[in-house]
């Protein structure tokens, strides 16, 4: 990433995460009700967390939920965003227990449950990593309208272009922001 753009990306990601943190705190404390009309984002999914447990959209019910789509080999945006989400969760203290926070992989080829577990060990323990087979990942990224595309690199490896947003879902699993 260009040296002049990277600081801007980091500042923008940090500002966005602070806003999300404030919204989550208000939501968890009951201060936000019907803030936005529900959008057609989200839907049924079945994935596996870093402990091997099945997670579905039903696990989101009853708690506000933060969702970030990324991949473990991401060089900059993913770790920056997950760090900022971690900082928000840490700042929430005990209230972080009232929030679900999910990192959903867009790279099922490399992101096994073990790879996701190792990757998330550097972030807040409230973050759960979710992965699945290519069909499961395709279904969830379609339901959440996530852009994700494999991009070949010159050395034969690849990276992923993907949507870099943090989704906020309400207690019923409906999209808020």
Number of structural domains (the chain) is 1
pLDDT at 9: 55
pLDDT at 100: 95
**What distance in Å separates the CA atoms of residue 172 and residue 159, rounded to the nearest whole number?**
34
Structural domain boundaries enclosing 158: 6-169
Grade residue 174 by pLDDT with cuts at 50, 70 and 90: confident
Residues 6+ apart with CB under 8 A from 36: 175, 176, 177
**What distance in Å separates the CA atoms of residue 18 and residue 14, rounded to the nearest whole number?**
6
User: Is 50 inside a domain boundary?
Assistant: yes
pLDDT at 153: 93
- pTM, two decimal places: 0.78
User: Is 177 inside a domain boundary?
Assistant: no
User: Is 29 inside a domain boundary?
Assistant: yes
Q: What tokens appear for 124 in the block?
A: 């807040």
pLDDT at 96: 92
Per-residue pLDDT at 122 exceeds 80: yes
User: Is 19 inside a domain boundary?
Assistant: yes
Q: What tokens appear for 83 in the block?
A: 């760090």
Q: What tokens appear for 89 in the block?
A: 């969760």
Task: Give the position of tokens 């708690």.
Answer: 63
User: Is 116 inside a domain boundary?
Assistant: yes
Give the whole-number percent of the chain exceeding pLDDT 90.
Answer: 69
> Are 49 and 128 in contact, with CB atoms under 8 Å apart?
yes
User: Which of 7-21, 37-51, 61-75 has the least mean pLDDT?
Assistant: 7-21
Per-residue pLDDT at 115 exceeds 90: yes
CATH code for the domain in which residue 97 is found: 3.40.30.10
The mean pLDDT of 91-104, rounded to a whole number, is: 94
Pair type for strands 127-131 and 46-49: antiparallel
User: Is 69 inside a domain boundary?
Assistant: yes
Per-residue pLDDT at 16 exceeds 80: no
User: Is 77 inside a domain boundary?
Assistant: yes
176 or 119, higher pLDDT: 119
Q: What are the C-alpha distances in Å from 118 to residues 22, 69, 169?
A: 28, 17, 26
Give the model confidence (pLDDT) of 24-64 as tens digits.
Answer: 666 666 655 555 555 589 999 999 999 999 999 999 899 99
């Amino acid at each position: 990433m260009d040296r002049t753009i990277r600081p801007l990306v980091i500042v923008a990601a940090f500002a966005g995460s602070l806003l999300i943190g404030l919204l989550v705190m208000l939501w968890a404390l009951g201060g936000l009700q019907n803030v936005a009309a529900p959008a057609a984002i989200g839907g049924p999914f079945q994935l596996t967390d870093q402990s091997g447990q099945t997670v579905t959209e039903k696990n989101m019910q009853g708690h506000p939920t933060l969702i970030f789509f990324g991949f473990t080999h991401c060089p900059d945006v993913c770790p920056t965003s997950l760090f900022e989400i971690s900082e928000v969760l840490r700042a929430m203290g005990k209230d972080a227990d009232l929030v679900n926070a999910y990192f959903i992989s867009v790279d099922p080829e490399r992101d096994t449950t073990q790879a996701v577990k190792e990757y998330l060990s550097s972030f807040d323990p409230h973050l759960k990593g979710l992965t699945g087979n290519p069909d499961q990942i395709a279904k969830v990224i379609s339901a959440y309208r996530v852009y994700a595309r494999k991009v070949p690199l010159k050395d034969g490896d690849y990276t992923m272009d993907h949507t870099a947003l943090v989704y906020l879902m309400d207690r019923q699993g409906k999209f808020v922001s």
